[in-house]
Every structure is written in structure tokens, then in C-alpha cells.
């Protein structure tokens, strides 16, 4: 366990925060102050932390005062010293006698040294400040940097505003982080500075710094009582709805939900090299298809569930032509997303005042490889699920092998299924969706929903002869039984259930072909 000796001059809020968090299991062994009435004394006592007061006499030399400080600290065992508002520059002799000593300074050093860092930042007109945790040296605010945390400076801020924001938004993050690194024995302090094991570059570095600029304030969030804004990554060159040009400027701006759905739609149609179209509602596909022409792909996608597609988002992976535009405006849609539009298509789409037309530019290979989800208190970060099976990846496990057409449909279905909220089951025929069951808490219910959609909502389509794709294994044979009753003749799924043999046997009993991908494709956002 890492034990800390704290040197505090006033409230010691950082030290008490560290004591409360115990980062890496660290423990504050003692708090020492040079002020007899320093509020940190009572705060430490409330936490059962021993305290020492070593006030400096009016005529006492620095050396004598530091000698008395060392004598007091000699009664305690500690591995690290953390300064917090201790307004004295420690001598080289004292620092040599102590283990590594850290300090936190309320600016991004080397900028704005001294005790008026906030005032200096405001006077300089910087738009970003923050804090620095560094190794203390005999030079003021000049030791090797362990970690930093940035904080924006907002219009109208004063020194008190910055002080509050830097303390809570930066120091309360950076100081415990540094202590945790020391507790985990990951820090090396050398002549060349500080190195932290695991803080190297890569997809998942030890620290992430995200800086986006507010692009626009939205009318509201998911619901009218929620305020919202759009933030943009100015460095991103990927085709995106964030940076897309809205070609019909007279139409109202996109809403929070429009952006969310349009982004999901764009992600889906990027899966395909052939002309592809998708209609998205609440981030789920209402239908998706590929075809020889864009207009045919749109018709096939829409006919999967035209009722649910009402008010949805259309995404295309080719330049939108007049024929496709004519089909789109036959029913109400909120947004069209495409990598370009012909003049004829724009003439058609412009006739719909409330239809937003987004040009995302060329759909080149995506540079962003990570996806993230904010959580209360943090965020999850993962690689994007860019994997899709090839014919060679499919392991046939049933007595009957899929036909060539069924193999083709399996590959199409999987690419679409990746974008359906789990638990997800999708029926497809050829390279078009037939019925989609999404967001169910039981897999067999997802099968039933897909069958119901195919039977009641699909136009000119049927589950008879379709391929079923499942985003995870079937835990029991009931899902296959339900699919067989609906007329499904082939199944693609990850496999890997303890009941795989029973599931395969059920497929064999119904003369169904089944292939395993060996990978699942959950989507929970």
C-alpha cells in the first residue's frame, strides 16, 4: 500500500479528496501544516488522519524550520509526499531527505507560474487553462510534469470562476490519477523527466483528452424539455452528418434525434459496395437493400416496413438520382443522407419544405476506428465493429448446405444485422430485408417480431424461403422452431451455445440449412 504524507497550508481539499478516493489503494498517513488554524486539521481529524502542526517562527531560518518538519515526519511511514497549498518553496536538502514530492499547480505549466495563475490566464486571454501535477523541486513551479488536465476558459469568467472550475474539473481528476500511478508502481522519475508505464500511444492510452467545438445549439434534445447542442471534431475528415452540407437551406435545422438517426443510417449503408439504401427509425433499420440501381434498392428497403418508415431517415451510398428522389418524396421522410445529388434529384427533393437534404461527401475508408458511449462518471471506448463474414468464414453445421443464393443472403443479412439493436433477428431474401426484430430482451421474441413484421408489414415479401440472421447464438431450439413455422429455410448465427447440438438438430428436423459465423454482433446503443 502506498502511504502519503501531506503538506497543506489551508483547506487541503485535494488531500482530503485523495484520502476519500484512496486511488490505487493509497492512504494518507499524516497531514502536516504550518498553520495552527488551518481548516485541513479538522477535516483530517474527521477522517481519522493524524496531523502535525509545524509553524515557522518569526526569526526561524528555513533550514531550522525544515529540520523540525523532518523530525515530526520521522514518526510516520510514507512513500510519497503530496503538497496542497503549502505556500513554501522546499529546499534541495529537504527534497533530498524526502521521497518523491508532488505538487499541483493551477495552470498548464510552464505557463502562469506563481500564486496568481488564474489572474494571469485571464489577463493573457487564453481560452484553455487547467492544472499540472509535477515533481517538486527547489525551483518554483518548475519540476518534471507527471500529468496535466485542461479546463476551458469561458467568456465572462473571473478568477473565482476559474478557481472553482480548475479545482473540481482538473485538480480533482489529475492529482488522484498521479497518486494512482505511483500506487501502481508505474512512474519513473529520472533525469530526463517522468515516464508512466502504459501511457504510450495507441488505441487505448492511459489517458484520453477530447476537445470538441460547439457547432450549433439545437432546438432541444431527445425530448422538448431537454436542452442540447452539437459538438464537432474539427480534425475529422470522415464523411459524417456532423460536417455535412445541408443543401436545402430553407428547411429547418436538424434536431438531436435527426442527427442520431442520420448517423446510424450512414453507418449502415457504408457496409455495402453495391448500390444500397436504408431507412432508419430510432437508430434501427426499418429496411435495407442492395440492388442493381439505387432506386430499386430504395424501393426494396422501403417495402420491408413502409408503415414504420414514415418520418424516417433515408441513407444512400451512391449519388442520389432523380428516379430515387421521386420514390423518396412519395412518403414523408425527415432527412436524406447521400454522398451527392444530381441536379434533377435536388429539384425533386427541394419541393418538400421539411425534408432535410444532407451531402456527406465521398464515402472513403473511415479513419475513425473507435466508438464510444458516455456513462455517468466516464465513458466506454471500443473498436468499431467493422468485421463481416466472408463465404469462407461461414461454417455449415447442418445436414443441408445453403444454396448459393442463401449464402449470398447470409452475407448481406449479417452486414445489416450489425446495425440492429440487440437482441436482434433479421429475415432477408436475396439482398433485401423482409422482417426485422430488434431490441427484445429475449431472442425468441425477436424471432416472433421479425416474423410478425414480415407477415403484416412487408409489402410483396414473405418469410417463406427467407434466411434468418441472429446477432448472438440461440440458447434454445425455440427460436429455430419459430422461424421454421414462419417459413424460414436457412439460418446464420454465431454459434457457441451449450445447446448448439439441440439447435442444429431442430434445424435438421425442418430441413433448414444453418451456418455459424463464430462471432456475434451485439449492438446495445
Residues annotated as catalytic are 105
Distance in angstroms (rounded) separating the CA atoms of residues 14 and 519: 46
Judge residue 125's burial from the number of C-beta atoms within 10 Å of its C-beta, 0-12 exposed, 13-18 middle, 19 or more buried: exposed
How would you classify the pairing of strands 27-33 and 3-8? parallel
Distance in angstroms (rounded) separating the CA atoms of residues 136 and 7: 12
3-state secondary structure (DSSP) of residue 64: helix
List helix spans (H) across 125-229: 159-166, 172-183
Cell 429547418 found at: 252
Distance in angstroms (rounded) separating the CA atoms of residues 406 and 277: 21
Phi, psi of 13 (to 5 degrees): -65, -35
Q: 263 to each of 140, 267, 335, 366, how far by Cα in Å?
A: 49, 6, 11, 13
Cα-based torsion angle of the residue sequence 461, 462, 463, 466 in order, rounded to the nearest 10 degrees: -60
Nearest of 230, 209, 232 to residue 219 by alpha carbon:
230
What is the DSSP secondary structure assignment for residue 523, as one 8-state letter?
-
Q: The C-alpha cell of 192 is what?
A: 530526463
Cell 534541495 found at: 92
3-state secondary structure (DSSP) of residue 292: coil
Q: 191 to each of 136, 137, 214, 518, how far by Cα in Å?
A: 14, 12, 41, 51
Distance in angstroms (rounded) separating the CA atoms of residues 171 and 291: 56
Q: How big is the chain, counted in residues?
A: 525
**Helical packing angle, 117-124 and 159-166, nearest 10°:** 120
Distance in angstroms (rounded) separating the CA atoms of residues 360 and 198: 37
Distance in angstroms (rounded) separating the CA atoms of residues 492 and 470: 7
Q: The C-alpha cell of 402 is what?
A: 445453403
Amino acid at each position: 500500500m502506498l502511504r502519503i504524507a501531506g503538506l497543506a497550508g489551508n483547506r487541503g481539499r485535494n488531500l482530503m479528496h485523495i484520502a476519500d478516493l484512496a486511488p490505487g489503494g493509497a492512504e494518507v498517513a499524516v497531514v502536516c501544516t504550518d498553520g495552527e488554524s488551518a481548516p485541513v486539521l479538522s477535516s483530517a481529524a474527521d477522517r481519522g488522519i493524524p496531523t502535525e502542526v509545524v509553524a515557522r517562527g518569526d526569526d526561524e531560518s528555513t533550514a531550522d524550520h525544515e529540520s523540525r518538519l523532518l523530525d515530526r515526519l520521522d514518526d510516520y511511514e510514507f512513500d510519497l509526499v503530496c503538497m496542497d497549498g503549502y505556500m513554501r518553496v522546499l529546499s534541495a536538502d529537504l527534497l533530498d531527505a524526502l521521497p518523491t514530492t508532488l505538487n499541483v499547480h493551477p495552470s498548464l505549466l510552464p505557463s502562469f507560474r506563481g500564486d496568481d495563475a488564474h489572474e494571469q490566464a485571464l489577463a493573457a486571454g487564453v481560452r484553455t487553462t487547467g492544472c499540472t501535477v509535477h515533481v517538486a523541486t527547489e525551483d518554483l513551479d518548475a519540476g518534471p510534469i507527471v500529468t496535466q488536465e485542461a479546463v476551458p476558459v469561458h467568456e465572462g469568467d473571473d478568477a473565482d470562476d476559474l478557481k472553482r472550475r480548475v479545482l473540481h474539473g482538473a485538480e480533482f481528476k489529475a492529482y488522484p490519477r498521479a497518486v494512482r500511478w505511483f500506487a501502481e508502481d508505474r512512474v519513473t522519475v529520472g533525469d530526463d523527466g517522468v515516464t508512466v508505464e502504459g501511457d504510450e500511444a495507441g488505441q487505448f492510452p492511459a489517458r484520453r483528452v477530447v476537445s470538441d467545438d460547439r457547432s450549433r445549439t439545437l432546438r432541444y434534445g431527445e425530448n422538448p424539455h431537454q436542452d442540447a447542442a452539437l459538438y464537432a471534431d474539427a480534425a475529422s475528415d470522415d464523411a459524417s452528418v456532423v460536417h455535412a452540407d445541408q443543401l436545402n437551406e430553407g428547411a429547418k435545422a436538424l434536431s438531436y434525434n435527426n442527427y442520431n438517426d442520420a448517423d446510424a443510417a450512414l453507418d449502415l449503408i457504408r457496409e455495402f459496395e453495391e448500390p444500397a439504401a436504408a431507412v432508419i427509425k430510432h437508430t434501427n433499420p426499418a429496411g435495407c437493400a442492395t440492388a442493381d440501381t439505387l432506386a430499386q434498392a430504395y424501393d426494396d428497403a422501403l417495402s420491408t416496413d413502409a408503415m414504420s418508415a414514415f418520418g424516417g431517415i433515408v441513407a444512400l451510398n451512391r449519388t442520389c438520382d432523380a428516379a430515387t428522389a421521386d420514390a423518396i418524396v412519395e412518403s414523408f421522410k425527415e432527412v436524406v443522407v447521400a454522398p451527392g445529388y444530381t441536379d434533377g434529384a435536388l429539384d425533386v427533393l427541394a419541393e418538400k419544405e421539411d425534408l432535410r437534404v444532407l451531402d456527406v461527401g465521398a464515402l472513403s475508408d473511415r479513419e475513425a476506428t473507435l466508438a464510444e458511449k458516455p456513462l455517468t462518471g466516464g465513458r466506454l471506448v471500443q473498436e468499431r465493429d467493422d468485421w463481416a463474414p466472408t463465404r469462407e468464414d461461414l461454417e455449415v453445421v447442418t445436414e443441408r448446405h445453403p444454396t448459393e443464393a442463401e449464402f449470398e443472403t447470409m452475407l448481406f443479412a449479417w452486414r445489416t444485422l450489425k446495425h440492429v439493436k440487440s437482441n436482434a433477428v433479421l429475415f432477408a431474401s436475396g439482398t433485401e430485408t423482409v422482417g426485422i426484430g430488434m431490441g427484445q430482451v429475449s431472442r425468441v421474441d425477436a424471432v416472433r417480431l421479425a416474423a410478425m413484421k414480415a407477415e403484416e408489414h412487408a409489402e410483396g415479401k414473405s418469410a417463406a424461403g427467407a434466411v434468418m440472421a441472429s446477432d448472438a447464438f440461440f440458447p434454445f431450439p425455440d427460436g429455430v422452431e419459430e422461424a421454421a413455422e414462419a417459413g424460414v429455410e436457412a439460418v446464420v448465427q454465431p454459434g457457441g451455445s451449450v445447446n448448439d447440438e439441440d439447435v442444429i438438430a431442430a434445424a435438421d428436423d425442418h430441413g433448414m440449412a444453418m451456418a455459424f459465423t463464430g462471432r456475434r454482433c451485439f449492438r446495445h446503443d
